[in-house]
Structures are given as structure tokens and as C-alpha cells.
Amino acid sequence: MSSDCLFCKIGDGSIPSEKIYESDTLFAINDINPQAPTHILIIPRVHQTSLLDVEKSDHEMMGSVITVANQLAKERGLDKTGYRLVVNCGEGAGQSVLHIHYHILGGRPLKWPPG
Ligand code: AMP
Ligand code: ZN
């Protein structure tokens, strides 16, 4: 827990936000500024600033991110139309919240490369 971190505070409930998925290690919320009809954030409960902090001991949790992403995507029919799982690592890549999180985007055609 980082006392000044938005996603730590949402995770522990001190900032209210509807959680669309919860486990001991992860939770998911709808993005407040959606960039697609489905835009979900999967957020590990433990505070790590970015992908650069991920270690071998986090591999199981990272695997569960993919399981949860597939589950949430299938519930929304995105297994039929496709979805993107994105991590912005560092401010130069567009990371604005310095607590690791995984974006699920889908429900519209997605172009490549992203901007
Ligand atoms: P990133 O730019 O990769 O760090 O992504 C941060 C995301 O968090 C952005 O897509 C924001 O719209 C989203 N966001 C910021 N504050 C909130 C919030 N209170 N609830 C849900 N999503 C948020
Ligand atoms: Zn945090």
C-alpha cells in the first residue's frame, strides 16, 4: 500500500469505486474515461509502480491477469470480436497512474499501431 496512490485507495475501499471483479490479489474497474465501449482496468492489489517492478515471484499473479482478462472479455462477447490487453509502462508510453494496471479495450475496431 502506498498512502498516496489512487489505485491502492480504490483497492482498499477508501476511495469508493464499483469493482466488476475482485480476488485476493486483483480487482477490476471500468475506466473513468473509456477509450472504447469496453475499457476495463485490471489492477493488482499490491503496489508496484510499473511493469519494470515485476519480478519472478509475480509471474503467477500475472498469469491470473490473463485468466481474468479472458473471463471479463468473454462475458462481454469480446472473444468473438477481439480485444486488446495493454500496459503503458512509464510516462513516455502514456502511463499516468503510477500503480501497475492492465487495460482491456474492445467493442470497436482497434487500429495498429496505437497513437
Ligand atoms: P494509464 O494512462 O495507462 O496510467 O492509465 C490510467 C487510467 O486510469 C486512465 O485510462 C484513466 O482514465 C484511468 N483512471 C484514472 N482515474 C480513475 C478512476 N478514479 N477510476 C477509474 N479509472 C481511472
Ligand atoms: Zn498503489
pLDDT digits (tens, 9 = 90+) for 12-63: 999 999 999 999 999 999 999 999 999 999 999 999 999 999 999 999 999 9
Alpha-carbon distance values, 48 to 37, 56, 88 (Å):
28, 14, 13
**Which of these, 63, 53, 65, 59, lies nearest to 5 by C-alpha position?**
53
Which of 6, 9, 20, 97 has most ligand 1 atoms within 8 Å of CB, for mutation? 97
Q: Residues 31, 36, 37, 42: is their CA dihedral positive or negative?
A: negative
Question: Please, are residues 45 and 25 in contact by the beta-carbon 8 Å criterion?
Answer: yes
Instruction: Report the separation in Å between the CA atom of 77 and the middle of ligand 2, taken as the mean of its atom positions.
Output: 30
Question: Please, are residues 28 and 17 in contact by the beta-carbon 8 Å criterion?
Answer: no
pLDDT digits (tens, 9 = 90+) for 64-89: 999 999 999 999 999 999 999 999 99
* Overall pTM surpassing 0.95 (yes/no): yes
Domains of the chain: 6-106 (3.30.428.10)
Catalytic annotation present for 101:
yes
pLDDT of residue 1: 64
